[in-house]
């Protein structure tokens, strides 16, 4: 796996620490795909990466930490913002949600992201620990990008008690349904439609608890 990385070529240059991180994330992806979540361990990742187990524990603490970092690396590889705060504020909710939806499309086109997501979802169906880890990864992304909706609340564009995280969930839902269930195409045209629908619903107060 180290000789044929699925994570792309946009790693930050650096010394030994950067090389270790790259090796560990490549090894983690390989273990997840080949053996599944239940059989993946910090020890196996360290062995495959060629680094000390203590190094892996010191940096990531546990498997969940490695997987969180793996998800962050995919976003970094394709140049998408790590947080909603880095999306430019267009002053319009639909425009901001469309930018977010286009990020989902871009991530889907990343081979390693699809490999990782397929492996984690397959494991989550049977393994509560895998489901908890996957849910944790997604919850972080939802929380970070909900700032897009908070901006709309401050502008008075949507009701003050709109649930920001529920809005973000509804943006992602059609994409993940197609990715994981139907296999239908995902493109920027879908991103535009989803953003328009969710923004309209938010303005209408659909996401008020």
Grouping H, G, I as helix, E, B as strand and the rest as coil, residue 166 is helix
From CA 35, how far away is CA 123, in angstroms rounded?
10
Q: Please report the pLDDT score of residue 14 as a whole number.
A: 60
Report pTM: 0.77
> If we measure between CA atoms, which residue out of 165, 142, 144, 164 comes closest to residue 153?
164
Contact 94, 199 (CB under 8 A): yes
Measure CA 136 to chain center.
Answer: 10
What DSSP string describes 101-152? HHHHHHHHTSHHHHHHHHHHHHHHHH-HHHHHHHHHHHHHHHHHHTHHHHHH
Residue 122 CB burial class (10 angstroms; 0-12, 13-18, ≥19): middle
Cα torsion angle, 106, 110, 113, 115, sign: positive
DSSP annotation of 92 reads -
Res 93: pLDDT: 97
Q: 54-74 as b/e, with b when 16 or more CB fall inside 10 Å?
A: ebbeeebeebeebbbebbebb
Whether 24 contacts 49, CB under 8 Å: yes
Q: Which two tokens stand for residue 176?
A: 């993940």
- Do 142 and 168 form a contact (C-beta atoms < 8 A)? yes
Write down the pLDDT at residue 78.
61
* pLDDT given for residue 195 in this prediction: 98
Question: How is residue 150 written in tokens?
Answer: 């908070």
Domain architecture of the chain: domains with CATH = 16-66 (1.10.10.60), 78-203 (1.10.357.10)
Blockwise average pLDDT, block size 10, the chain, 209 residues:
47 71 92 87 96 94 88 70 68 95 87 80 84 86 92 97 97 93 93 98 97
Q: For tokens 């169906």, name the residue.
A: 125
Would you state the pLDDT for residue 84? 55
Nearest of 75, 91, 74 to residue 83 by alpha carbon: 75
| Residue-level length of the chain | 209
């Amino acid at each position: 796996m180290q000789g044929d990385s699925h994570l792309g070529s946009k790693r930050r240059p650096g010394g030994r620490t950067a090389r270790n991180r790259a090796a560990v994330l490549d090894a983690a992806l390989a273990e997840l795909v080949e053996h599944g979540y239940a059989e993946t361990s910090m020890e196996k990742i360290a062995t495959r990466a060629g680094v000390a187990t203590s190094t892996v524990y010191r940096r990531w603490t546990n498997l969940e930490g490695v997987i969180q970092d793996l998800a962050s690396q995919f976003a970094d590889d394709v140049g998408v913002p790590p947080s909603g705060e880095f999306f430019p504020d267009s002053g319009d909710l639909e425009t901001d949600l469309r930018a977010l939806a286009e990020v989902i499309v871009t991530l889907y086109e990343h081979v390693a992201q699809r490999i990782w997501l397929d492996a984690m979802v397959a494991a989550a169906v049977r393994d509560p620990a895998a489901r908890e880890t996957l849910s944790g990864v997604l919850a972080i992304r939802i929380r970070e990008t909900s700032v897009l909706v908070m901006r709309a609340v401050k502008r008075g564009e949507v009701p003050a008690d709109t649930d920001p995280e529920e809005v973000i969930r509804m943006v992602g839902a059609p994409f993940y349904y197609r990715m994981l269930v139907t296999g239908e195409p995902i493109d920027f045209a879908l991103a535009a439609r989803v953003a328009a629908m969710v923004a309209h619903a938010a303005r209408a107060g659909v996401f008020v608890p």
